[in-house]
Homo-oligomer: A and B are copies of this chain.
Amino acid sequence: MSERDAGQLRADARRWLEAHWDPNRSLVEWRNLLADSGWGVPHWPREWYGLGLPVPLSQAIDEEFAEVGAVGVAKAGIRMLAAATLLEHGNDFLKERFLRRILTGEDTWCQLFSEPGSGSDLAGATTRADFDGRQWVVNGQKVWTTSAHHAHYGLLLARTDWDVPKHQGLTYFVLDMDQPGVEVRPLRQMNGHASFNQVFFTDARIPPECQVSETGNGWRVAMTTLAHERRGADALRTHARATERVGRIYEEEARETATIMEPYKWYPQRAGRVDLVLPRARETGRLEDPVVRQEVAKLLILAKSAEWTARRARAAQEQGRPQGPEGSLGKLAASHVARAAARVHTLISGADAMLSGADGPLDGTIAEILVSVPATSIAGGTDEIQRNIIAERVLGMPKEPRMDTGPFRDVPRNVGAS
């Protein structure tokens, strides 16, 4: 599409917004308008609430929305992973049934992949779904489920065949969370927060029409969901701002955002809060100590280099270059940065590093950093798994001999892990 078309499109968007945007509408009413008009997700197909535009152009439209401060469709949380997955793999029934209420934000979703017995090894899931002739019956347990306590639906990966290799025995479902067979319990972390849940299934039911993948083909569909997870995280960030304007719709959106962001409020501390290091070192006077300066410098070198490396990766992509190794390195770098930051915060804080809550430095923020950082090198794939991926996919090094290629029934696994 040419410059001219882009300009034309922006004009159309502006005209449409002038005609319809009103901060005093209700959030759902407005978003239904967006769904009907296609302006909410212009890169989606015309038949499903979109305009079938290429992503770059849809960004132009986002800018027009930002221009007038117009609220967009519900983007944050797992719901966008659900939408992307259903758009790519769902049948018309599923799209018809779920997509609109995803966009309006009326439905919240959660992802039911990880299990106590299969963390690094997602494909080793042992939650089972058995077809009783009328519907699927689910038994087992999932864990690390964000928002499960208020989610309406879950994206479920369950084992439907135990006699084939593990990747071939999984099926992908949409599960209705609001039923007796589903129990959600909060999972408390070592930093005191409970941002995740455990989900227990006892003869939970799934009607046949809520099966997303063909039986045994769930892993491929799960790959789609995981591929969109990064973009989801970005959406989360962009979503975080744009919440300080007046009007009923902004209040409703702010409430929605608050609920969605709640589980993530300690994430900045988990990353080590490098931003606090220099100010703290100055205020405490520790920056006068050359030994402290060396440690601060090591951290800043690491953090800045990691940031530049990420930018370099994005810049190269924007130039249409094949993504270099820089991309896949970000997560591993983040672990180093977080650990180093925790070390330096401890060094700077001295005895105060022993104090938490209201007694602790920065009203407990430093303490929260110290007890949250260990999650960085684990959550979303441990450093060890990242190194395997980097070595095999980026450096092209040979895989290790595998012990789990036979029928899943015979693969040694955790018994009653939790």
Contact = CB atoms under 8 A, between A and B. Distances in A.
Contacts of A358: none
Which of A289, A291, A403 neighbours the largest number of chain B CB atoms within 10 Å of its CB? Answer: A291
Interface in A375-418: 401, 403
Contacts of A294: 291, 294
A289 B290 CA distance: 9
Interface string A285-306: 0000111001000000000000
A209 to B, nearest CB: 44
A174 B294 CA distance: 58
Contact of A290 (B291, B401, B403): B291
A156 B307 CA distance: 56
A102 B387 CA distance: 52
Contacts of A291: 290-291, 294
Interface in A261-293: 289-291
A401 B290 CA distance: 49
Contacts of A290: 289-291
A71 to B, nearest CB: 54
Nearest to A294: B291
Contacts of A403: 401
A288 B328 CA distance: 43
A403 B403 CA distance: 12
A387 to B, nearest CB: 15
Interface string A7-25: 0000000000000000000
A114 to B, nearest CB: 25
Contacts of A289: 290
A290 B403 CA distance: 52
A152 to B, nearest CB: 44
A258 to B, nearest CB: 46
Nearest to A293: B291
Nearest to A403: B401
A403 B399 CA distance: 13
A401 B403 CA distance: 8
A289 B291 CA distance: 10
Given A294-B294, A401-B401, A401-B403, 5 more contacts: A289-B290, A290-B290, A290-B291, A291-B291, A291-B294
8 contacts: A289-B290, A290-B290, A290-B291, A291-B291, A291-B294, A294-B294, A401-B401, A401-B403
Per CB-CB distance, the 8 closest pairs between chain A and chain B, nearest first, are A290-B290, A291-B294, A290-B291, A401-B401, A291-B291, A401-B403, A289-B290, A294-B294
